[in-house]
Structure 1
Amino acid sequence: MPDAGAALPPIAATDALAVSVVVPLYNEEESIPALQTQLTAALAALNRPFEIIVVDDGSRDNSFALLRAWQAQDPAHVRVVRFRRNFGQTAAFAAGFSRARGAVIVTIDADLQNDPADIGLLLAKIAEGYDVVSGWRVQRQDAALSRRLPSHIANALISRVTGVALHDYGCSLKAYRREVLQNVKLYGELHRFIPAIASWMGTEVAEIPVNHRARQFGRSKYNLSRTFRVILDLITVRFLLGYATRPLHVFGGIGLAMGALGTAIGFYLTYLKLVLGQSIGSRPLLLLAVLLVMLGVQMMSIGLLGEMTMRTYYETQDKPIFVIREVLENHATEQEAKQAP
Structure 2
Amino acid sequence: MQQNSLSIVLPAKNESNSLKSLIPQIKAIAPTAEILVINDGSTDDTAKIASDAGAKVITHPYSQGNGAAIKTGARNAAGDIIIFMDADGQHDPEDIPVLLNKLSEGYDMIVGARSVNTHASLSKRCANSFYNKLATFMTGHKIEDLTCGFRVVRADKFRKFLYLLPNGFSYPTTSTMAFFRSGFPVAYIPIHAGVRNGKSHINIMKDGFRFFIIILRIGSLFSPMRLFLPISAVIFTTGLGYYAYTYFTSNRFTNMSGVLFLASLLIFLIGILSEQISSLHYKAAEDNRRT
Structure 1 length normalisation: TM-score? 0.68
**Secondary structure class of the residue paired with 1:238:** helix
1:84 matched to 2:61 = yes
Deviation at 1:265, TM superposition (A): 8.8
Q: Deviations over 1:285-318 (max 9, x none)?
A: 855357557757976997799799x59xx69xxx
| Structure ID, larger Rg | 1
Q: Deviations over 1:209-239 (max 9, x none)?
A: 2232223x31122342233222211111111
Q: Tell me the percent identity.
A: 28
Matching residue within 247, 250, 256 for 1:288? 256
1:155 matched to 2:135 = no
Name the aligned partner's letter for residue 201 of structure 1: S
**Which residue is 1:322 aligned to?**
286
Matching residue within 89, 102, 109 for 1:125? 102
Q: Distance in 2 between matches of 1:250 and 1:63?
A: 42
Matching residue within 186, 198, 210 for 1:229? 210
Contact 1:58–1:85 (CA under 8 A) maintained in structure 2: yes
1:114 matched to 2:102 = no
Deviation at 1:94, TM superposition (A): 1.3
**Secondary structure class of the residue paired with 1:324:** helix
Q: Distance in 2 between matches of 1:259 and 1:157?
A: 23
Contact 1:122–1:133 (CA under 8 A) maintained in structure 2: yes
Between structures 1 and 2, the one with greater helix share: 2
Q: Distance in 2 between matches of 1:138 and 1:254?
A: 33
Q: Distance in 2 between matches of 1:224 and 1:163?
A: 26
Q: Distance in 1 between matches of 2:270 and 2:135?
A: 27
**Which residue is 1:26 aligned to?**
13
Query: Structure 1 residues 302, 151: CA separation in 2 closer, same or farther (over 3 Å shift)?
Result: closer
Name the aligned partner's letter for residue 65 of structure 1: K
Deviation at 1:35, TM superposition (A): 1.8
1:42 matched to 2:34 = no
Q: Deviations over 1:112-139 (max 9, x none)?
A: 1101121111111111221111112226
Structure 2, unmatched stretches of 5+, are none
**Secondary structure class of the residue paired with 2:17:** coil
Give the number of equivalent residue pairs.
Answer: 285
Q: Distance in 2 between matches of 1:260 and 1:147?
A: 34
The within-5 A match list for 1:202-217 is 202-215=183-196, 217=197
Name the aligned partner's letter for residue 218 of structure 1: G
Name the aligned partner's letter for residue 241 of structure 1: F
Deviation at 1:183, TM superposition (A): 1.8
Q: Deviations over 1:58-103 (max 9, x none)?
A: 2223323333x43xx63xxx32222232222111111111111211
Matching residue within 166, 172, 187 for 2:149? 172
Name the aligned partner's letter for residue 26 of structure 1: K
1:98 matched to 2:75 = yes
Structure 1, unmatched stretches of 5+, are 1-8, 13-17, 272-277, 328-341
**Which residue is 1:219 aligned to?**
199
Query: Structure 1 residues 200, 259: CA separation in 2 closer, same or farther (over 3 Å shift)?
Result: closer
Contact 1:31–1:112 (CA under 8 A) maintained in structure 2: yes
Query: Structure 1 residues 178, 293: CA separation in 2 closer, same or farther (over 3 Å shift)?
Result: same
Query: Structure 1 residues 165, 61: CA separation in 2 closer, same or farther (over 3 Å shift)?
Result: same
Contact 2:82–2:154 (CA under 8 A) maintained in structure 1: yes
Name the aligned partner's letter for residue 192 of structure 2: N
Contact 2:223–2:275 (CA under 8 A) maintained in structure 1: no
Q: Deviations over 1:12-59 (max 9, x none)?
A: 5xxxxx111111111212212112221222211xxxx42111112222
Name the aligned partner's letter for residue 187 of structure 2: A
Give the CA RMSD over aligned residues: 3.8
